[in-house]
Structure 1
């Protein structure tokens, strides 16, 4: 039977309906892995008609070649300066290190990051938070740096957000024979985003509510895939 990750519940109730959130344990995804082959290996035998299959943005990005070892990133002086003013949390370093800030400058463009930093500096003085990422956008928000709980080799790497996540979700749905909706998610213990899905806006909002406690976990769980199934009907999962 499926097992919840430590500290997480296997089921959750939302608007009077119970949902199972089933983590799928896998090996570590490595650069050069093929996403289609990986999903066939771990998901095709457990996804059922009517399920919602979700995949973490990190493994999508890794299979797209968007993971960079720290030693290959050479932060410019601006990245060193800006990273000092980013608030770090126990759940993710975000852009609070020079290497992740450097990649944000490359991904989003220097002007956008500078505008986001300037606005954030002003609004923080008035007690408002979150403006930096609202302006910098999803590409900046999705950048992952190493933390104490990051699985090697990504404890020494920066992983960007996935490219074309909505198209990836549509492709994976077809790969699964169209029997399940699919979402590429960026979820952590502080919140999350649906980066791309085959759902409508209401479906994305509902999925975020179902996953708000981050059932896939934050560190060494090695469960980058998951299934949401209506009702309390967990399955055997690898």
Structure 2
């Protein structure tokens, strides 16, 4: 099997003195309610061998679990519309700068907590510190993707939440299919390990280093699965 990667990402990486080959597995667009077990059977098992590690984007697992929120369910109120313009954002990840995402934060955490988090984040920016808002509002708010249809129209009016019990998902996949896996939330700024098989021998820092360059991509690559194979 020839390992291939998305443009701009090397096939081989070195982590902790060991070399690993990475392979970007192309899939169809995953619809809400599909089975992640069936997807792994279809796309991963044909190239899997013992000792491999599968890195799965949370954007596969969460839609399979139905962990989505629709725009009509988070119609921005006055507070969300007021706070959103003050939030930080980038072209790839505008976060709660989108009023619907800010409203999701309010629904999830309560108006008082979100307002206090926004005030603290504004003060922290004066001292060069970022990310305070998400630290205070939690992983559900920080992990909400979507409401952005530049790549896929489906996401224009829909948000994708983080998966439920990602550790349990990884253990289920290993138990049912024999595939060791981690679920990641990765973008061009940061990588977070949301869940992993309990049998994995690597530390969280090593797992992050294997995908530090976000090899699955940030656009229309349709490569949510990255197969990682030790070479030594």
Same fold, TM exceeding 0.5? yes
**For residues 115 and 201 of structure 2, what CA distance do their matches in structure 1 show?**
30
TM-score (norm 2): 0.90
Structure 2 spans left out of the alignment, 5+ residues: none
Cα drift, residue 10 of structure 1: 1.3
Q: Which residue of 2 aligns with 1:55?
A: 56
Cα drift, residue 202 of structure 1: 5.4
CA contact (8 A) 1:93 1:146 kept: no
**For residues 175 and 208 of structure 1, what CA distance do their matches in structure 2 show?**
25
2:207 is equivalent to residue 210 of structure 1:
no
Cα drift, residue 187 of structure 1: 0.7
3-state SS in 2 of match to 1:169:
helix
Alpha-carbon spacing, 1:123–1:159, altered in 2? closer, same or farther (3 Å): same
3-state SS in 1 of match to 2:146:
coil
3-state SS in 2 of match to 1:184:
strand
CA contact (8 A) 1:55 1:183 kept: yes
**Pairs within 5 Å for 1:104-143:** 104-143=105-144
Cα deviations by residue, 1:63-104 (Å, 9 ceiling, x for unpaired): 111223434531222222222111111221212101112222
Structure 1 spans left out of the alignment, 5+ residues: 233-238
2:13 is equivalent to residue 19 of structure 1:
no
**Pairs within 5 Å for 1:37-76:** 37-76=38-77
Q: Which residue of 2 aligns with 1:159?
A: 160
Q: Which residue of 2 aligns with 1:181?
A: 180
Which of structures 1 and 2 has the larger relative contact order (alpha carbons within 8 angstroms, sep 6+)? 1
TM-score (norm 1): 0.88
Q: CA RMSD in A?
A: 2.1
**For residues 43 and 112 of structure 2, what CA distance do their matches in structure 1 show?**
42
**Pairs within 5 Å for 1:143-154:** 143-147=144-148, 149-154=150-155
**Higher alpha-carbon deviation: 168-177 or 70-79:** 70-79
Cα drift, residue 201 of structure 1: 9.3
**For residues 220 and 11 of structure 1, what CA distance do their matches in structure 2 show?**
22
Alignment coverage as a number of residue pairs: 230
CA contact (8 A) 1:92 1:146 kept: no
